[in-house]
C-alpha cells in the first residue's frame, strides 16, 4: 500500500512564524531523493531552499506559489512507498487546499509571472558547495528563458571558472565572489590575462544588461501585482522583506527617540589612500572603496567609545552593553532593503573587512542572506552616496544604538592651509537612540569617524 508523508513548513531561522512559497522545484508525479531541494521559500529575511527528508513520489502540492503560510503547515505530500500500489489506488487528488485545480508544475494555471519567466529545473540533487553548511544542498541555478532580477548577483561560488583562462588567483577569487564567468570576460592584460578591472567592468555591464532586459510592463517587482481595469494602477501584496522592513522601521521610529548629528569633512587623504590601495598587490583580490574606510573608521570610533555599542531591553528595563561589534551593512536588493551584519567585525583587519563586505553584499543581492546574518547587529553603516545623495537621517535598525550614513563624495571648494582649493568632501550623518546615547557621546563618535576619514594615519594610533 502507498505510504504518504506530509512535509510541513519548518522554522528555518530564529523567530520565523510564516513564509511565502516562492517557487516549487518539483511537480506532481516527480520522483524525489532524500535531501533533494523541492521548494524555495521567501522569509522576511531571505530566500531559503528546503530539502525533503524522504525519497518517494510527489502526490500533491498543498500550497500555491506566492501563498503565505504559517510554520507547521503541510505544504506537500510524498508517497514514500510508491511501489506498494497502483498510482490511482487511493492516492490523493492533486488539488490545493483552497479548491484551485493544480496543473502540470503544480501551480494554478496562469499563475505568477515569475513562473512564466523561468521553467522548473531538473529534479536532481545539487552538487555540494564546500562553503555551504554541512548537510544542506548547494543552491541550484534553474534554467531561465530570461534572467530573474532576484538572481542578478549569484551567490559566491556559483560561477564556473575555467582553468584555461589566464588570470591570477586573486582575480579568480574576485570573479567567484561576484558570480562572473571568467570565460566570458574580455581580457585586456598583457598576454591575454584577465585583470581585476576586466572582471569588475564585466560585472557592471552584465548588471546593466539584465536590468535593461525587462520591458516597462513586466518589471519583476510588479510581477505578482494586479493591474486595475484602466491600467493606471498596480496593486502588489506586501510580503516578506518589504513587510518586515516596514514593520521594523515603524517600530524603530516610534520606539527609539532618534537624534541625528551631521559633519561635513574633507576626505581627500582617504581618497588618495583608496587609490594607493587599489594599486597594492596585497589588495588585488578585494574591492577598495570609500565605504570600506568609513566602515573601518566607524569600528575604531566605537572601540574608543564603547558606551555607544549598546541596546535597550524594554522587558527587563536594562541597558545591555555589547563587548563585540557586529557591523551591519545596509544593502539595496531586488527584494528590498536588507541589513545583514559582519560578525565580530572589530577583529578584522582592513583586507579581511573588505572581503567580508564583498561576500555579504553579493549574498544579499542574490537573496541568499541567512536569518543568522540578519540578527544581533550592534551598529550599521549605510552608503547613500552611491545614489548621489549628500546625506540623510537614517532610521536605526531595531535593537541597535547607532547608524552612520555616508554621503556622496564630491570635489568642492575648501579652505586648505589658508587657501581655497578643490578638495574631496563628503557629509556624514549619525543617528542614535537618545535613550542610550546623549548628544555629547554621539557627537564624539561622529567627530572621531570624521577625523579618521580626514586623516587615515590616525588609524595607526587608534587601532
Residues involved in catalysis: 434
Set of cell numbers at residue 438: 546623549
Quick one: DSSP state of residue 75? Answer: E
Q: What is the DSSP string of 392-451?
A: --PPPPTT-SEEEEE---EEEEEEETTEEEEEEEEEEEEEEETTT--HHHHHHHHHHHHH
Judge whether 175 and 153 are in contact, CB under 8 Å.
no
**How far apart are the C-alpha atoms of 53 and 7, rounded to whole Å?**
8
Judge whether 339 and 381 are in contact, CB under 8 Å.
no
Neighbour count for residue 78 (Cβ, 10 Å) = 23
* H/E segment holding residue 40: strand 37-42
Query: Which segments of 85-136 does DSSP mark as H helices, in order?
Result: 113-117
**How far apart are the C-alpha atoms of 223 and 16, rounded to whole Å?**
25
**How far apart are the C-alpha atoms of 241 and 219, rounded to whole Å?**
18
Judge whether 58 and 30 are in contact, CB under 8 Å.
yes
Vertex 133, ends 129 and 139: CA angle to 5°?
45
Q: Tell the residue number behind the cell numbers 575648501, with chain if given.
A: 414
Length of the chain (residues): 463
CB burial of residue 321 (10 Å; 0-12, 13-18, 19+): middle
**How far apart are the C-alpha atoms of 219 and 45, rounded to whole Å?**
22
- Cα 265 to Cα 270, 292, 414, distances in angstroms: 11, 17, 10
* Backbone angle region of 90, left / alpha / beta, with phi > 0 → left and psi within -120 to 50 → alpha: left
Q: Name residue 60's beta-bridge partners.
A: 77
Amino acid at each position: 500500500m502507498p505510504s504518504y508523508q506530509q512535509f510541513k513548513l519548518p522554522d528555518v531561522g530564529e523567530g520565523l512564524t510564516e513564509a511565502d512559497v516562492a517557487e516549487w522545484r518539483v511537480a506532481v508525479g516527480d520522483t524525489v531523493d532524500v535531501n533533494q531541494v523541492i521548494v524555495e521559500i521567501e522569509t522576511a529575511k531571505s530566500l531559503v531552499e528546503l530539502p525533503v527528508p524522504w525519497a518517494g513520489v510527489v502526490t500533491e502540492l498543498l500550497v500555491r506559489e506566492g501563498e503565505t503560510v504559517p510554520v507547521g503547515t503541510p505544504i506537500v505530500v510524498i508517497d514514500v512507498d510508491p511501489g506498494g500500489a497502483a498510482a490511482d489506488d487511493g492516492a490523493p487528488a492533486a488539488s490545493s487546499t483552497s479548491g484551485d485545480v493544480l496543473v502540470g508544475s503544480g501551480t494554478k494555471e496562469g499563475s505568477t509571472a515569475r513562473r512564466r519567466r523561468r521553467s522548473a529545473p531538473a529534479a536532481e540533487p545539487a552538487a555540494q558547495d564546500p562553503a555551504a553548511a554541512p548537510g544542506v544542498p548547494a543552491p541550484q541555478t534553474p534554467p531561465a528563458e530570461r534572467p530573474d532580477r532576484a538572481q542578478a548577483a549569484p551567490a559566491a561560488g556559483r560561477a564556473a571558472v575555467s582553468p584555461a583562462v589566464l588570470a591570477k588567483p586573486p582575480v579568480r577569487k574576485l570573479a567567484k565572489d561576484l558570480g562572473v564567468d571568467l570565460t566570458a570576460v574580455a581580457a585586456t592584460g598583457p598576454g591575454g590575462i584577465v585583470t581585476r578591472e576586466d572582471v569588475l567592468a564585466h560585472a557592471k555591464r552584465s548588471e546593466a544588461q539584465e536590468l535593461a532586459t525587462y520591458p516597462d510592463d513586466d518589471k519583476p517587482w510588479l510581477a505578482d501585482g494586479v493591474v486595475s481595469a484602466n491600467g493606471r494602477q498596480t496593486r502588489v501584496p506586501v510580503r516578506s522583506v518589504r513587510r518586515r522592513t516596514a514593520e521594523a522601521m515603524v517600530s524603530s521610529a516610534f520606539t527609539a527617540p532618534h537624534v541625528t548629528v551631521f559633519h561635513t569633512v574633507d576626505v581627500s587623504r582617504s581618497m588618495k589612500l583608496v587609490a594607493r590601495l587599489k594599486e597594492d598587490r596585497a589588495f588585488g583580490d578585494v574591492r577598495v572603496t570609500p565605504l570600506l574606510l568609513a566602515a573601518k573608521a566607524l569600528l575604531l570610533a566605537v572601540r574608543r567609545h564603547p558606551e555607544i555599542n549598546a541596546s535597550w531591553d524594554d522587558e527587563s528595563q536594562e541597558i545591555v552593553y555589547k563587548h563585540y561589534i557586529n557591523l551591519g551593512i545596509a544593502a539595496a536588493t531586488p527584494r528590498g532593503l536588507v541589513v545583514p551584519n559582519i560578525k565580530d567585525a572589530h577583529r578584522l583587519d582592513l583586507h579581511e573587512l573588505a572581503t567580508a563586505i564583498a561576500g555579504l553584499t553579493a549574498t544579499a543581492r542574490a537573496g541568499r542572506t541567512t536569518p543568522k546574518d540578519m540578527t544581533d547587529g550592534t551598529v550599521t553603516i549605510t552608503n547613500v552616496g552611491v545614489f548621489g545623495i549628500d546625506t540623510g537621517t537614517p532610521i536605526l535598525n531595531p535593537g541597535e544604538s547607532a547608524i552612520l550614513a555616508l554621503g556622496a563624495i564630491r570635489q568642492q571648494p575648501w579652505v586648505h592651509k589658508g587657501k581655497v582649493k578643490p578638495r574631496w568632501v563628503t557629509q556624514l550623518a549619525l543617528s542614535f537612540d537618545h535613550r542610550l546615547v546623549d548628544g555629547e557621546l554621539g557627537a564624539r563618535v561622529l567627530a572621531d569617524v570624521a577625523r579618521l576619514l580626514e586623516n587615515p594615519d590616525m588609524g595607526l594610533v587608534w587601532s
